[in-house]
Amino acid sequence: MSDLRQLYQEVILDHYKKPRNFHPLADAHRSAEGYNPLCGDKVTVYLKVEDGLLSDISFIGSGCAISMASASMMTASLKGKTVTEAEAFFERFHALVTGRAGTNAEAKLGKLAAFSGVCEFPIRVKCASLPWHALRAALEAKEETVSTE
Amino acid sequence: MRAENITLESRSVSLGFDVERIRQDFPILKQKIKGKTLIYLDNAATTQKPEAVLEALRRYYTSKNSNVHRGVHWLSEQATRDYEAARHRVKSFLNAGSEHEIIFVRGATEAINLVAHSFGRKWVQAGDEIVISAMEHHSNIVPWQILCEEKGAALRVAPINDEGEMVLEEYEKLLNSRTRLVAVTHVSNALGTVNPIRSIIQAAHSKGIPVLIDGAQAAPHLKVDVQELGCEFYVFSGHKIYGPTGIGVLYGKERLLDQMPPYQGGGEMIRSVTFQKTIYNQLPYKFEAGTPHIAGAIGLAAAIDYVNALGLETVAHYEQMLLAHATEALAAVRGVRIIGTAQDKAAVVSFVLDGVHAHDVGTILDQQGIAIRAGHHCAMPVMERFGVSATARVSLAFYNTRQEIDAVAASIHKVREVFG
């Protein structure tokens, strides 16, 4: 049960049940869709980028607790951050869920450190990283759906 | 004494089917997963292998390994004899009319692709139609889509109702003079529905349309008699019937197979080759280019022998008891909705849990050593039909027990604990 509690931490379940920034952005500058063909999880990330800042970020989608909470917490963490900071977050988050992050990196992730349990569940890594791949695609202004496969 | 009586009683409950003894035949079932005894309920994906199959593979590779239909030496003779004996057993298993009608392929998927390529090349043209159902596995959708795209033909899809049963009246309306083939599953992998294939075949035949039945999920659970059914093609996979992966069977009526062009070219499928012209080998070798999966065929025959020894009817009876128990036990869990509630079902219970994604159910059950499938089951159109993106699926085999199903139900309560 302890591994499960480590994976499904309270903050993750809270964001799954009450996702933040869960709506399309009518005046988004960029958006991108992420899709995990393994489980059918889908997430679309919307961005407003002004003067190198993510002045607004939101998402819509459907999927498992890990992917939806990851999307919700990603938007909550990145709103108001610079594009450069967002990219650094991507790298740190990816290192965290693949088990390559040190404690220092975890500290810099703030609440997102709750995803540290994911690395014990290799097939769930894609769930956690799906919205982040969509974010990166949106930042790079890629048109087509990014896939975790 | 008393404890012993209880054990005997609970065994007799399982209809004279000694499941504990049968489980001894499957080495993998003794394995611990995350400290828990494995509960394997993903049998629609693949089944576990009895010792008899593993031993057949070992015996082949240790004492008979050689290429077939070629060598003049003793080993090749032995390998050829066992390989052809395997074909004979498959023929009997399906009650086909002749060994010429049994083509060894990699699996049901390759068998369908073979028919789509070969039958399609010969008989499907622009404006023609292929009819499938809305409950097909991707392997009985995509090969036809590829064919239709190539030929300018159209794919027609017979709808299913809310229970997951094919709507026969609508299906019959799709059959017309342009229909070249009907390709329908015998048992749905995502819903467990057993299709009324006799009626489906009859309706097509009344208009002179040939029928392919995808038996991947049926062959392990139901007695199949292709002569009685009268279908033109029947396909199944070895690994879903307790045999090895990489081996499967295409049954086809000789009359059609004879006229169909080869699927792949190479060795084995030829009678003579010059740079000007190649004369193809006779059936079934015309469709078996290259060295076949000899060990796989022998392993499949061992699996068929194993299932025959248990008796498919006995097995089906026991599995129906398990299915009823699983349906009841899962439906009793708060928030569970069963997807696929057909009158006639086999071995599969697909469900969604209110407020929890199937993938999360799968992960939490996995922590208890329980293997189920969570996802779209390679049947995305079925998921769409029921308005879900994924389901959790418990799929049964004769080595499963009521206690294992109870453990699943208990674990779903655990999912509720985690998710609140």
Q: What is the pLDDT of residues B125-176, one digit of tens each?
A: 999 999 999 999 999 999 999 999 999 999 999 999 999 999 999 999 999 9
Q: Quickly tell me which residue has 């992917």 as its tokens.
A: A67
A110: nearest Cα among A129, A136, A92: A92
Q: Measured between CA atoms, how close is B306 to chain A, in angstroms?
A: 34
- One-letter-per-residue 3-state SS of A48-93: EEECCEEEEEEEEEECCHHHHHHHHHHHHHHCCCEHHHHHHHHHHH
Distance CA A134, CA A125 (A): 15
Q: Do A124 and B367 touch (CB under 8 A)?
A: no
Q: Which residues contact B239 (CB under 8 A, 6 or more apart)?
A: B46, B47, B107, B245, B246, B247
Query: Is pLDDT above 70 for B251?
Result: yes
Query: Residue B156: in which H helix or E strand, if any?
Result: strand B154-158
Query: In this predicted model, what pLDDT tens digit does every residue of A15-72 receive, in sequence order?
Result: 999 999 999 999 999 999 999 887 778 999 999 999 999 999 999 999 999 999 999 9
Given a contact cutoff of 8 angstroms between Cβ atoms, the answer to whether B116 and B145 are in contact is no
Query: Is pLDDT above 80 for A102?
Result: no
CA A89 distance to own-chain centroid: 10
Q: Do B420 and A65 touch (CB under 8 A)?
A: no
Q: What mean pLDDT do residues B108-132 have?
A: 98
pLDDT in the model for residue B263: 95
Apex B236 CA angle, B225 and B224, nearest 5: 15
Query: In this predicted model, what pLDDT tens digit does every residue of B5-43 receive, in sequence order?
Result: 444 444 434 456 899 999 999 999 999 988 999 999 999
Percent of chain B with pLDDT over 70: 96
Query: In this predicted model, what pLDDT tens digit does every residue of B410-420 receive, in sequence order?
Result: 999 889 888 98
Q: How confident is the model at residue A103 (pLDDT cuts 50, 70, 90)?
A: low
Q: How confident is the model at residue A73 (pLDDT cuts 50, 70, 90)?
A: very high
Given a contact cutoff of 8 angstroms between Cβ atoms, the answer to whether B183 and B152 are in contact is no
Q: Measured between CA atoms, how close is A38 to chain B, in angstroms?
A: 7
Please give the CATH topology (third level) of the domain spanning B10-46+311-419: Aspartate Aminotransferase, domain 1 (3.90.1150)
Q: Quickly tell me which residue has 């009819």 as its tokens.
A: B131
Q: Do A41 and B389 touch (CB under 8 A)?
A: yes
Distance CA A101, CA B93 (A): 56
Give me the residue from A8, A17, A40 closest to B383, CB to CB.
A40
Q: How confident is the model at residue B3 (pLDDT cuts 50, 70, 90)?
A: very low
Distance CA A33, CA A61 (A): 9
Strand partners, B370: B39
Give me the residue from A39, A62, A65 closest to B375, CB to CB.
A39
Q: Do B360 and A63 touch (CB under 8 A)?
A: no
Long-range contacts of B252-255 (CB under 8 A, 24+ apart): B252/B101, B252/B103, B252/B115, B253/B101, B254/B97, B254/B98, B254/B100, B254/B101, B254/B283
Give me the residue from A4, A5, A39 closest to B359, CB to CB.
A39
Give me the residue from A1, A13, A40 closest to B376, CB to CB.
A40
Query: Is pLDDT above 70 for B119?
Result: yes
Q: Which chain B residues contact residue A121 at CB under 8 A?
A: 363
Phi, psi of B355 (to 5 degrees): 80, 0
pLDDT in the model for residue B221: 97
Q: Do B375 and A41 touch (CB under 8 A)?
A: no
Residue B419's identity, in one-letter code, is: F
Q: Do A40 and B360 touch (CB under 8 A)?
A: no
Query: In this predicted model, what pLDDT tens digit does every residue of A78-88 receive, in sequence order?
Result: 999 999 999 99
Q: Respond yes or no: is residue B378 known to be catalytic.
A: yes
Give the best residue of A3, A8, A70, A126 to mutate against chain B (max B CB count within 10 A): A8
Burial status of residue B3 (CB atoms within 10 A of its CB: 0-12, 13-18, 19 or more): exposed
Q: What is the CATH number of the domain that holds A82?
A: 3.90.1010.10
Query: Is pLDDT above 80 for A143?
Result: no
The token pair at B263 is 């699927």
A7 touches chain B (CB under 8 A): yes
Distance CA B185, CA B144 (A): 14
Q: Do A124 and B363 touch (CB under 8 A)?
A: yes
Percent of chain B with pLDDT over 90: 90
B39 three-state secondary structure = strand
Query: In this predicted model, what pLDDT tens digit does every residue of B27-37 receive, in sequence order?
Result: 999 999 889 99
Q: Which residue range is the domain that position A37 belongs to?
A: 2-146
Give the best residue of B356, B363, B414 to mutate against chain A (max A CB count within 10 A): B363
Query: Is pLDDT above 80 for A144?
Result: no
What CATH number belongs to B53-309?
3.40.640.10
Q: Measured between CA atoms, how close is A41 to chain B, in angstroms?
A: 8
Query: Is pLDDT above 50 for B343?
Result: yes
Strand partners, A46: A31, A58
Q: Which chain B residues contact residue A5 at CB under 8 A?
A: 418
How many structural domains are present in chain A?
1
Q: Where are chain B's structural domains?
A: 10-46+311-419, 53-309
Strand A30-36 relative to strand A146-147: parallel, antiparallel, unpaired?
A: parallel
pLDDT in the model for residue B323: 98
pLDDT in the model for residue B5: 41
Distances (CA, A) of B66 to A64, B24, B72, B248: 49, 32, 11, 20
B14: nearest Cα among B288, B378, B324, B348: B324
Q: Measured between CA atoms, how close is B368 to chain A, in angstroms?
A: 9
Distance CA B365, CA B408 (A): 7
Query: Residue B251: in which H helix or E strand, if any?
Result: strand B248-252
Q: Do B363 and A5 touch (CB under 8 A)?
A: no
Average pLDDT of the residues of chain B: 94
- Would you tell me which residues 52-81 of chain A have a C-beta closer than 8 angstroms to some C-beta of chain B? 62-66
Distance CA B370, CA B411 (A): 9
Given a contact cutoff of 8 angstroms between Cβ atoms, the answer to whether B221 and B186 are in contact is no
Query: In this predicted model, what pLDDT tens digit does every residue of B170-207 receive, in sequence order?
Result: 999 999 999 999 999 999 999 999 999 999 999 999 99
Distance CA B313, CA B142 (A): 33
The ipTM value here is 0.89
B interface with A, Cβ–Cβ < 8 A, is 355-360, 363-364, 367, 374-376, 380, 383, 389-390, 414, 418-420
